[in-house]
Every structure is written in structure tokens, then in C-alpha cells.
Amino acid sequence: MAPHELRRTFKRTAISDQQRRRDLALLRQNQQRSDSQNRARRLASSVLALPDPSSPAEALVDLPDVVDVHPDLYLDPSSEPEAASPAGRHLDVVEASNLKGRTARHWFSRQLMLMEWMIDVPPSLDRDWYSPSRSDQSALENQLSKKVSGREEGAPRSKSGSPTEQPSPLPWQHATQDVEEHPGQKYVFARPSGKRCFVVSSNGTTVSRLRNGSVLHRFPSSLPNGARTKEISAASHVFCILDCIFHEPDQTYYVIDLICWRGYSLYDCSAEFRFFWLNSKLLETGACDLPSVYHRYRFSVVPVYECNQIGLQKAYTCGVTFAKDGLLFYNRHANYQAGNTPLALVWKDEFCSKYVLDTDGEGQVPIQQQVVLELQGTGKLTTHDDPPIVFGYLEREFFQKTGLQVGNLLRFSIMDESVRTVDGKLELGEIKFLGKANRFRAFADSYSKVFFQHTARHSPLQFMDLMASVDPSLHYENTEDSEMIG
């Protein structure tokens, strides 16, 4: 398509219902307060006590889902979710210790907060997705002082028993003080390339587990109660849970979120507060120091920027100590929600990631898009969403004849000409069965990932689309049609 002669402001038209799901997620978050303290204890105990599920043996115990099903978040109101376990039940340590194989992978895959893939640019990205500026510092410190004043049970205290001091200003705040000061609601930062994992320090040891439940490392660290030393060890109720990405080249855990600190749960705290606490507390422990005898791996924070023109440009282009794998966007008000959430987004292009398009088993980008779906008991092929989205069916005779079982993750190729978008929802027509997915894979593809991969092949969401949203005065030539092909 020939370039437009007239230079004008261009914003990509929304092609999905992702914004509606963001609004519903915020509404659900405000209406429901979870038992975050007990959830944190269960997760910490399970990370330490669960056996390594890489064993081929599979446990017989079925795992109850921890996250409740919310009918108002259905992408298709006419579709019914698969039968789930009783919503009110929670996994205790005795049950968790019996989990192996697929059941352990099933449980751990539902404990991390999984970012949706950015299909559309959120409206007014600079205002709806925020990082605190200098004008917000006093309000944030007031919030923090209330948290650590001892008014809330489990608040972290110093060794003398008095509440801990207020954290110093954030390191990443100094890097963004030249950015225009006006309130917004989003963070943006580069996502490190590597293995996503939980890191839990408790009872004098530190354990990291991958999304499929497999133990990555068991080691001493400078995290609270993370090693058996006089300076670090603490009472049994003191534990920490960090959401990390392990970067293999420099053997470093990059912390992208904080779930629990010294036994104090942060599940129900906003992203603004969690980042503030993370950047101040982690440095105090010495966890960011170089490795030593009682601190085997180094931890590091990721530079976080305000989501405006300057901050977005820095996150996209500035050099970092790790290989980038896209950009992450956090809503300021988002609590730490287990499972997929539209309040945290991931976006990629060829400049900031080597892995924009999915590859096959040989590391090559296939001609046709491939998708991994989970086989349900009725033959439905579903995504890893809550509730799951149905993208196809298998005849019972076929999967019985081929030896497939309920819960298997299956790989399919998508016929591009059969894909269409109806009322903001992606519909797959013809899909071709290719075989089972890797047995160590934790879960199926999410709906937003399938949608993103399709648009990336036909009408990719570009960095200039993001810039046009945060800076409406930006003018550039639109050299391609804004409508998605396919």
C-alpha cells in the first residue's frame, strides 16, 4: 500500500475485546479480597516440600483449583467451562507432598501470574498504565508506613521487634525523574530472557521451581531465612516468595515481582506498592551482591520506567545486562493474581526479542502457525485460560484409537485461511493434529498468545503503535493498512 501523502496522527484500531476483560478484571479484584496470607504460606510450603515432578511416576491425588471461576469474565457467555473442583477448597501441605508429574505441573502452572499478550494497545497507555513519579512519593511512603506500623498482622519487623524503617527512594525512580510528572497507571520494563520460576527462602534454604514444578536450584542465599547462618536464619514463620526469571548467561535471578516478604503476603497489594517494596528491601539484604559461599546466585532488579514517551523509549532501546525477551506492562492497581490476567501484558518485536514467532521442535519458525491445546474429557480442545476457551474438538473414537488421554497437551497447525475475527474474538476454523507437545510443558497456549501470534504473522502490533498511544502529538506516515489480515 502506497504511503499516505498527508502526515497525520495514527492510532491502530482495536481488533479484540482485551480492554473489556481488563475492566472486568479490575472490577473482580475490587469486589473480592483473597485470603492472601494463607495462600502465601501454602505456596511457600509446597515449593519446599513437593518432590521433583520430573519423575515419570504420577500421583493419583487430584488437585483442587485454587483460583475461583468467575462467570462474568467468560469470553463467550454461551460457552460452559469444564467441570472444576470445588472452588472453596485449598491444597494443604500433606496433599501437596503427594503430588508428582502432571498433577504437580498442573498446580504450579496456576500459581504464577501469567501476562496476557498485548493484542491491542490499551487506550491512553500513559495514563492507564503507570509508574509512580516524584509527586507520588509522599503518598506511597504513607501507604508503606501504614503497612509496616504493625496494624496489619504479619507486617515485617526488625530483630528488636519494632516495625522496620521506611524504605529509601527507589533506585529506578532516580532514573526516571526527568520524565514528565503527571499521574498515570502503568509500568513498562524489559523482560529478561530465561526461565520463569518461583524462588522461596525458608527454614535456612532457598529453592527455585519452574512453572512445571521441577526444581531448578536448591541453594543458600542472602534472602531472609535463605541460609543457615547467624545473620540470615530466622524463625520458621519467616519466608519470602519472589517471582523471578533465571538468566543463564550471567547466572542471575532477575526479580520481576514480589509475592511475600518475611512472611508478609503482598498478594493483595497493588503493583505500585510491590515494586516499591521490592526495590527497597531486596538491596538491604545483600541479595544483589556477588555470589559467595552462603549466597550462591546473585539477584537483581529490572529497571522500571514510567509508561510515557521517554520511559517507553528507554525500556525499548536502553542497554541492559541481560538478553531482552520483549517488554512487560503492569497496571498500577493490579494485585498479584494467579493465572492469566489482562492487567499485565507482554509485547514483542524483532528488535527486543529473538522469539517473536513460536518455533517448532527444531527451532525453526513453521510456515503455518502452530498452537498447543489441552484435551478435555468431552473431546474439547481448550486454551490455558480461566475459563478455558474452546478452539476445536476431537472425536472420541480418534483420541481413544490413538491412545490420547484427558489432560494431554496436543500440538496443532492452523490453516490461515480459516481464521477470522468476530466481534473482537478470534475463531479458528480448520486445525490439523500434529502430535503431543513436549511432556515437560506446563500448560497449553493462552487465548491471547494464539491471537498475538496470528497478528504477528499478518498485521503485527508495532512499536510506533505504542508510541502513538503515549504521545498523541506524534505524527508519522502510516505505510500499511491498519486492518488485520486474516
Respond yes or no on whether the N-terminal peptide bond of residue 387 is cis (omega within 30° of 0). yes
290-299, 301-310, 354-363, 468-477: range with lowest mean pLDDT: 468-477
Confidence of residue 30 (pLDDT cuts 50, 70, 90): low
Can you tell me the mean pLDDT for 406-429? 90
d(CA 339, CA 197): 14
Task: State in Å, rounded, how far the first CA of the chain is from the last one.
Answer: 17
What DSSP character marks residue 258?
E
Q: Which residues contact 370 (CB under 8 A, 6 or more apart)?
A: 358, 360, 411, 412, 413, 414, 434
The residue extents of the domains of the chain are 18-114, 125-153+163-347
Residue type, 384: H
Place of cell 521451581: 209
What does the alpha-carbon distance between residue 297 and residue 48 come to, in Å, rounded to a whole number?
18
pLDDT at 422: 87
Q: What is the pLDDT of residues 247-268, one digit of tens each?
A: 999 999 999 999 999 989 999 8
Give pTM, 2 decimals.
Answer: 0.73
Task: Tell how far CA 332 is from the center of its chain.
Answer: 15
Residue 426 pLDDT grade (very low, low, confident, very high; cuts 50, 70, 90) = very high
- At 167 the pLDDT is 35
Q: Which residues pair with 257 in a beta bridge?
A: 243
pLDDT value for 126: 72
Which residues, including other chains, have CB under 8 Å from residue 180's CB and lie 6 or more apart? 308, 310
* Homologous superfamily in CATH for domain 125-153+163-347: DNA ligase/mRNA capping enzyme (3.30.470.30)
Decide which of 411 and 364 is more confident: 411
The residue among 307, 384, 364, 354 whose CA lies nearest residue 194 is 354
Q: For residue 131, is pLDDT > 60?
A: no
* Residues 6 or more apart in contact with residue 30 via CB below 8 angstroms: none
For cell 543458600, the residue is 220
- Which residues face 410 on adjacent strands? 373, 436
DSSP annotation of 249 reads T
Contact in structure between 296 and 220 (CB atoms under 8 Å) = yes
Q: How far apart are CA 90 and CA 24, in angstroms?
A: 24
Q: What is the per-residue pLDDT for 102? A: 66
Q: Which residue has the cell 500434529?
A: 434
Instruction: State how far Cα 105 lies from the chain centre.
Output: 16
Q: In this predicted model, what pLDDT tens digit does every residue of 324-344 receive, in sequence order?
A: 999 999 988 889 988 889 999
Per DSSP bridges, beta strands 298-301 and 252-261 are parallel
If you average pLDDT over every residue of the chain, what do you get? Answer: 74
Give the pairing of strands 425-427 and 409-414: unpaired
Determine the pLDDT at residue 51.
Answer: 55
